[in-house]
Structure formats: structure tokens, C-alpha cells
Amino acid sequence: MKVVVDVNELFSLLIRGTSRSEAILFSENFELIAPEFLLDEFLRNREEILKKNHRSEADFDRLLEIFRRRITLIPKSEFEEFVPRALSLFPEHTKDVQYLALAIKFDCILWTEEKLLRNQDPVRVNNTWELFEILKGML
């Protein structure tokens, strides 16, 4: 099952790390995808993440490598035709437009805790708990 990953889910995983989010990340039942800028967000916020999670830089780099292996990064050129539709759904919430556009293109779940994104029709939005429940049902 294809799932678009919101960067905030990965920030949360790095900072708090829960067994549910780790199970989702490592499950072969989910094909995780994200806009290609996702890893740039991690590198741009590296210092802040390290301060909040008290991990070493080596730990951060190992987790980043896991993300690189588990998440397929999709260039914007592959889904930019869906950006106007996503923007029309949430013109005031532009930070999530690319995630929404990617989920529209692939007709798949968007994994996010962002409650505002639930108020639209084209994309199914699941938080970590809901996605974990889906995973349990697959096992």
C-alpha cells in the first residue's frame, strides 16, 4: 500500500520515536513516498532535531540513511500538475500542498497528524495510530 509521508511524522519519529511509527517505517506492507525536498528539510533542521532528541550526530546520520532507503523521493515534476488542485483545497495552508498533490496523483493515503487536511475529499488522511491499526489488520 502506497503512503505519502509528511515530514513532521519523521521529525516526530526522530525526536520521540514510538513503536507505532517505527513499525510503519519498517513495514514492507507500506511503500512510503514523499516529495524529494523531504530530506532537505532534515538537513536544514539538523541542529534543532539534535537538540530536541539528544542523539548523537552519528545516530542522526544512521536514521537519515534509513529514511533514504525506506522512502522513495518523488521529483515535483512528476506531480506538479496536481499542485493547483491541492492548493485550491487549502489555499491558506501552502506548506502541505506538495504532500497533498502527491497523494492525489497516486490516489493513496497521506500519513500526517495535520487535522486540517482531513477536511477535503480527494485524499484519505491517516495519523500514526490509524495507520498502525491498518498495519495490524494486514498482519
Q: Please state the pTM of the whole predicted model.
A: 0.91
Whichever domain contains 33, its CATH number is 3.40.50.1010
Cα–Cα separations (whole angstroms), residue 90 to 77, 93, 94: 20, 5, 7
Q: pLDDT tens digits, residue range 87-107? A: 998 887 788 899 999 999 999
* Phi, psi of 33, deg, nearest 5: -135, 160
pLDDT of residue 119: 80
**Residues 3 and 31 sit within 8 Å (Cβ to Cβ):** yes
The number of distinct structural domains making up the chain is 1
Containing structural domain, residue 67: 2-138
Would you say the C-alpha torsion 22, 116, 103, 135 has a positive or negative sign? Answer: positive
Q: pLDDT tens digits, residue range 7-31? A: 989 888 877 777 899 999 999 999 9
